[in-house]
């Protein structure tokens, strides 16, 4: 059985005081949730504040990025080791916004995944096709390339510790969600890819999240799909009420 994971990606939003208030609002309302893992990813500068605000709650904290080295002469970067030290348990890696805006490649993303694993953090590896790629029937090829590229040379035991987030680029921040069937088809394909890179048991245990305009009114249908094990939520994770409703998706 895969335990669902609902993760909030706060992206470049929220000041320190706003982050503290959002985290406190979630802690107040989600303290008794035990059947779903919950995680939020604030901006770097708010990580310590949010970790403090979530003390004693079941909500974990993730970073939105990391550098693929633990320490050294890398001005301006933050390593998995330091994120772990700051109280993070996971890192979002290879988000499409970073692939597009900062030209992150599969090679760099794979290095980040490994560095996270070395620091004992859970990598949340983001993959997803653009609308153009989907319309050109390149979706499966793109997903295969991103899964393989992100996980290349990892042992099955390492792959077991990775969470995958399927986020079709055309559904991010657009209000257009993949249909339940579109998402399920992609997730099933991704699980098959994981099996090819590890084995049946590890693929069956791997959590694959859906991301892209997940909202209170569409989460139930998405999470009811066989291969959808949770959600990576952007906009709706910034509102206490919406995120709570998403965590309480229909079981």
CB of 96 to ligand 13P, least distance (A): 7
Cβ–Cβ under 8 Å, residues 220 and 249: yes
How far is it, in rounded angstroms, from Cα 211 to Cα 232?
A: 5
Regarding 232 and contact with ligand 13P (CB under 6 A), the answer is yes
R_g of the chain computed on alpha carbons: 17
Q: Is 167 a catalytic residue?
A: yes
> Cβ closer to ligand 13P: 106 or 213?
213
Segment interacting with ligand 13P (CB under 6 A) among 47-55, 72-80, 106-114, 230-238:
230-238
The three-state secondary structure class of 21 is helix
Q: How many helices (H) and strands (E) does the chain have?
A: 12, 8
Decide: is 233 part of the binding site for ligand 13P (CB under 6 A).
yes
Residue 42's φ and ψ, nearest 5 degrees, are -80, 175
Is residue 141 part of the annotated active site? The answer reads no
Q: Residues 18, 95, 241, 248: which is the catalytic one? A: 95
Residue 164-203 contact track with ligand 13P, rule CB under 6 A, x = bound: ---x----xx------------------------------
CB-based contacts of 149, cutoff 8 Å, min separation 6? 105, 106, 107, 109, 110
Residues that bind ligand 13P (CB under 6 A): 9, 95, 167, 172-173, 211-214, 232-236
């Amino acid at each position: 059985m895969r335990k669902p994971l609902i993760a909030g990606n706060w992206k470049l939003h929220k000041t320190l005081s706003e982050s503290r208030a959002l985290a406190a609002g979630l802690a107040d309302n989600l303290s008794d949730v035990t059947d779903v893992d919950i995680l939020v990813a604030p901006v770097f500068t708010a990580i310590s504040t949010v970790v403090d605000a979530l003390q004693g709650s079941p909500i974990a904290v993730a970073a939105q990025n990391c550098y693929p080295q633990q320490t050294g002469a890398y001005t301006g970067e933050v390593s998995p080791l330091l994120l772990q030290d700051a109280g993070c348990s996971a890192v979002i890696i290879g988000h499409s916004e970073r692939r597009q805006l900062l030209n992150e490649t599969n090679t760099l993303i794979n290095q980040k995944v490994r560095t996270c694993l070395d620091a004992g953090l859970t990598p949340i590896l983001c993959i997803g096709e653009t609308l153009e790629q989907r319309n050109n029937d390149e979706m499966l090829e793109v997903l295969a390339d991103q899964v393989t590229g992100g996980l290349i040379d990892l042992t099955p035991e390492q792959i077991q510790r990775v969470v995958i987030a399927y986020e079709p680029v055309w559904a991010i921040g657009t209000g257009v969600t993949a249909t339940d069937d579109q998402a399920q088809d992609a997730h099933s394909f991704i699980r098959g890819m994981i099996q090819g890179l590890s084995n049946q048991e590890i693929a069956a245990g791997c959590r694959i999240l859906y991301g892209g305009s997940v909202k209170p009114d569409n989460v139930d249908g998405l999470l009811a799909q066989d291969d959808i094990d949770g959600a990576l939520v952007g906009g709706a994770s910034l509102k206490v009420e919406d995120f709570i409703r998403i965590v309480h998706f229909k079981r």
